[in-house]
Amino acid sequence: MMYSNTHMVSVAIIGASGYTGAELLRLCAQHPEFEVQYATGDTQAGTLARVLYPSLAAAYPNLVFQEFDPAKAQEVDLVFLGLPHEASLDVAPLLVDKVACVVDLSAAYRLKDAAAYPQWYGFAHTQPELLAQAVYGLPELYRNQLVGARLIATPGCFVTAASLALTPLVRSGSVDATGIIVDAASGVSGAGRSLKHSSLFSTVDEDFTAYGLLDHRHTPEIEQVTGAQVLFTPHLAPMNRGILATCYARPSGKTPTTASLLAELARFYSSEPFIVVGKTSPSTKATLGSNSVHITARFDARTGYVIVIAALDNLAKGASGGAVQSANVALGLPETMGLTQVGMYP
């Protein structure tokens, strides 16, 4: 279904009480065509959104988180799922083809190989037909497939950064598609709102640690998007928001230069409103609150490595902003609608 400027898009956010849900509420509040009519948060049912998130008070003075009711969700045009992976796996079949578009922010429909789910996510995939139907929600790489999509799988935050950094160079053959290393750091909000020792202030403050060594679940997703073999190591940084991905690859064929790498990335993203390619080393704070991704590259002639670095806001472009961007494409709205290219600084 394509929407005109005379038709407001009614929106439901299932799982709206988490961080990605709160970010979706923020983005929908500034979207001229989206109107949130239903927001669920089973653990917070009956709670005013403004009580849990005072930042939402002006836009949603009377919005109350409700329990999930499929019949209510089926009454809107656009549904965002901000649920755990297995919950999305169960809920999506109740809504796909009942509404114009379902945008899932979990990993339930990201991996095209259903057999990969037990290894990487610990559950068997029970919806192979929907998995085949789902379109990957990264417009910079899958825009044509997103037009008219009924089910969208929003990428992981680490995956968005690493894939946008590496894919142009892998596709062109500028770098070898094997032995790529991705070191990436995330803000604590990437762990979600639930109470965990690993994300308590006293645990995270003044600390920097690697985790998910050799087996982080975003690894197969990065490999699926880039078409490359990747060793991925995530790190937790003591900041609220942000992803900084530093990617190392060997050149393939002609030896590049820093200038040639930057030129190739700039050409690939020349018409992309949210991609900034430049010489400056990217900063997570420069992307704060925006849907932009800042990318740079270098070639180190001494060691023979290509370095590509990308920064983004993990809750915006890395999750809810990317979801809104993909929904805009699917519904035939201007892709940048409701989203900003400009970060909050300082």
In a shared domain, residues 146 and 290: no
β-bridge pairing 151-153 and 34-40 = unpaired
In a shared domain, residues 168 and 270: yes
Return d(Cα 117, Cα 124) in angstroms, integer: 6
Pick from 54, 50, 30, 56: nearest CA to 290: 30
Return d(Cα 247, Cα 243) in angstroms, integer: 13
Q: Are 155 and 138 in contact (CB under 8 A)?
A: yes
pLDDT band at 180 (very low <50, low <70, confident <90, very high): very high
In a shared domain, residues 135 and 182: no
Q: Are 235 and 185 in contact (CB under 8 A)?
A: yes
Q: Are 157 and 243 in contact (CB under 8 A)?
A: yes
Q: In the β-sheet with 293-300, what is the strand arrangement from edge to edge? A: 209-210, 230-236, 180-186, 243-249, 305-312, 293-300, 275-277
pTM above 0.85, yes or no: yes
In a shared domain, residues 198 and 113: no
- For residue 190, what pLDDT is reported? 86
CATH of the domain at 74: 3.40.50.720
Return d(Cα 156, Cα 195) in angstroms, integer: 21
- For residue 302, what pLDDT is reported? 98
In a shared domain, residues 126 and 222: no
Whether the pLDDT of residue 4 is over 60: the answer is: no
Residues 6+ apart with CB under 8 A from 202: none
In a shared domain, residues 23 and 87: yes
In a shared domain, residues 186 and 141: no
In a shared domain, residues 226 and 169: yes
In a shared domain, residues 25 and 106: yes
Q: What residues act catalytically?
A: 157
The lowest-confidence range among 136-150, 185-199, 244-258, 319-333 is: 185-199
In a shared domain, residues 258 and 299: yes
- For residue 163, what pLDDT is reported? 98
CATH of the domain at 278: 3.30.360.10
Query: Quick one: what percent of the chain has pLDDT higher than 70?
Result: 98
Q: In the β-sheet with 135-136, what is the strand arrangement from edge to edge? A: 34-40, 9-14, 78-81, 101-104, 151-153, 135-136
| Mean pLDDT on 196-216 | 88
In a shared domain, residues 167 and 136: no
In a shared domain, residues 185 and 119: no
pLDDT band at 205 (very low <50, low <70, confident <90, very high): confident
Q: Are 327 and 338 in contact (CB under 8 A)?
A: no
The lowest-confidence range among 75-79, 171-175, 190-194, 231-235 is: 190-194
Q: Residue 78's domain spans which residues? A: 9-155+318-331
